Amino acid sequence: MKLKVKKAKKELFQQKLGTYLKDYEKTKKLIYEVGFIAEGSVVKCYMRCGKKNCRCHKKKQYRHGPYYQLTWKEKGKTVTRYLSNEIAQLYHEWIDNRQKLTAMIKKMNTISLNARECISAIKMINDPLLKAKKTSYKSQ
């Protein structure tokens, strides 16, 4: 009877582990498709020019632009650089790719954690000594 329960428990964990493996492989394939990545963020801004009598100095709506500004952190400092419209579009895409990649890594981390728990549960069922050690440790 006890052996039957053990076997059923083990099968359940192995089934779970199989699901985690499938999820993990699926995420890995998605990572393979991610294009270039970039750090930082792009902001759209409107600027005043150097000519003092230009209308851009009078009202915000007359400011020139849009211009795109890339901001990122380097050694703890914020760095800014202007981008052409075309490059700004690329950066939008690359920053988006980076966020997707970060989310995928986070997901892989969670799946790995679940898998590790499953693997140690299976190991404990396989090796009663491990379980005995753990329970005796708990009861103290």
Question: Which is closer to Zn ion, CB of 58 or CB of 106?
Answer: 58
What is the distance between the alpha carbons of residues 90 and 104, in angstroms, rounded to a whole number?
21
54 binds Zn ion (CB under 5 A): yes
Query: Which two three-digit tokens encode residue 116?
Result: 């590790």
The residue among 108, 89, 99, 118 whose CA lies nearest residue 23 is: 108
Question: Which is closer to Zn ion, CB of 42 or CB of 63?
Answer: 63
What does the DSSP assignment read for 14-40?
HHHHHHHHHHHHHHHHHHHT------S
Question: Which is closer to Zn ion, CB of 56 or CB of 108?
Answer: 56
What is the distance between the alpha carbons of residues 122 and 9, in angstroms, rounded to a whole number?
8
Q: Minimum distance from CB of 54 to Zn ion (Å)?
A: 3
49 binds Zn ion (CB under 5 A): yes
Q: Which of 56, 87, 101, 119 binds Zn ion (CB under 5 A)?
A: 56
Binding part of the chain for Zn ion, among 15-23, 52-60, 87-95, 110-118 by CB under 5 A, reads 52-60
Residue 35 exposure: Cα atoms within 13 Å on the Cβ side: 7
Question: Which is closer to Zn ion, CB of 29 or CB of 59?
Answer: 59
Binding part of the chain for Zn ion, among 20-28, 31-39, 45-53, 105-113 by CB under 5 A, reads 45-53
The site for Zn ion (CB under 5 A) is made up of: 49, 54, 56
